[in-house]
Copies of this chain bind each other. A is one copy, B any other.
Amino acid sequence: LAQIPSAEPQNTFSFHPIGWLESCFKEKFGIPRQPGLVKEAWAVLHLPKTEAMREALHGLDSFSHLWLIFIFDRCYEKPWSPRVRPPRLGGDRSMGVFASRAPFRPNPLGMSVVEYKGLDSDDEHWLLKLGGCDLVDGTPILDIKPYLPYVDGVVGASEGWTSEAWPELQVSFSEQALTTIHSIGDDGMRLQALISSCLRQDPRPAYKRGKAEVQEYGFKLEQWNIKFIVRESLATVLELELASAS
Contact = CB atoms under 8 A, between A and B. Distances in A.
A158 interface: yes
Contact of A13 (B5, B9, B76): B76
Interface string A75-90: 0100000110000000
A143 interface: yes
A73 B69 CA distance: 17
Copies in the complex: 2
A101 interface: yes
A150 B138 contact: no
A206 interface: no
B160 A113 contact: no
Interface in A125-162: 137-138, 140, 142-154, 156-162
Contact of A58 (B65, B99, B158): B99
Interface string A59-72: 11011110101010
Interface footprint category on A:
35 or more
A96 interface: yes
A62 B160 contact: yes
A12 interface: yes
A18 to B, nearest CB: 5
Interface string A99-123: 1110001110101010000000000
A159 B154 contact: no
Contacts of A144: 98
B4 A22 contact: yes
Given A14-B12, A154-B113, A146 B99 contact: yes
30 contacts: A1-B46, A3-B246, A4-B46, A5-B138, A7-B16, A7-B19, A7-B20, A7-B46, A11-B16, A11-B17, A11-B140, A12-B15, A15-B107, A35-B151, A36-B154, A56-B82, A56-B96, A58-B82, A58-B83, A60-B99, A65-B158, A98-B146, A100-B145, A101-B146, A106-B143, A109-B142, A111-B145, A113-B154, A113-B157, A153-B154
